[in-house]
Amino acid sequence: MIELLTADTPNGKKISIMLEEINFEYKVTKINISKDEQFKTEFKKISPFSKIPVIIDHKKKISLFESGAILIYLGEESGEFYDKDRRTTINQWLMGQIAYVGPMLGQHHQFHYYNPGKSEFGEERYFKICKRIYKELDERLAKADYLAGNFYSIADIATFPWIARHEWHDIGLKNYKNLSRWYKIISEREAVKKGYDLLGKGEKVPSI
């Protein structure tokens, strides 16, 4: 049994989608970050930076923090979406999401969606970066069906929940043909539909 401790965020959805894809039994323990539950002593024991998500593999009696590390672990454990012969390429696109796509879109959310009008500099800066990310992903997906090549991998699973917030971005996903095609194909996967509804409230994957 895998226990997923998380809030309902793109990083949390990465893991629930992966767990659905590999058909591992799991349960979700909600961490209410609006009430600072991530800073509680017990949680910090398994998440030193007080970040979600975290998983506990109760069978192996181990815990893991950081979404990328968790995806790699689940890929290795299941033997799915993290092919040994393709890991060099998969890792590049996975790390690109973790170090660039997620953090930059996250900042765009903060300035453009949550706090509009509070910082013209912040809004303009991250809107431009976000728009560039869409263009860069679109260019990549003009050359391959998925991010790491013509195969679905944990790099796609990591990136998808961030693009799924495209309505927050106000950039116009439909204007990016290749990125839209990728998004639509992934959004139609049954495991993605189930995993996106992280807290079981009937949440649907946003359409384009």
Q: Is the domain of 56 the same as that of 98? A: no
Domain harbouring 144, CATH code? 1.20.1050.10
Which of helix, strand or coil describes residue 45?
A: coil
Lowest mean pLDDT: which of 72-76, 122-126, 131-135, 189-193? 122-126
- Is there a domain that residue 196 lies in? no
How many domains are contained in the chain?
A: 2
pTM of the model: 0.96
Q: Is the domain of 171 the same as that of 155? A: yes
Pull the structure tokens for residue 48.
């030193």
Q: Is the domain of 111 the same as that of 98? A: yes
Pair 6, 31: CB distance under 8 Å: yes
Q: Is the domain of 92 the same as that of 184? A: yes
Q: Is the domain of 68 the same as that of 106? A: no
The pLDDT value given to residue 110:
86
Beta bridge partners, 146, equal 149
pLDDT tens for residues 111-137? 888 888 899 898 899 999 999 999 999
The reply to whether omega before 53 is within 30° of 0 (cis) is yes
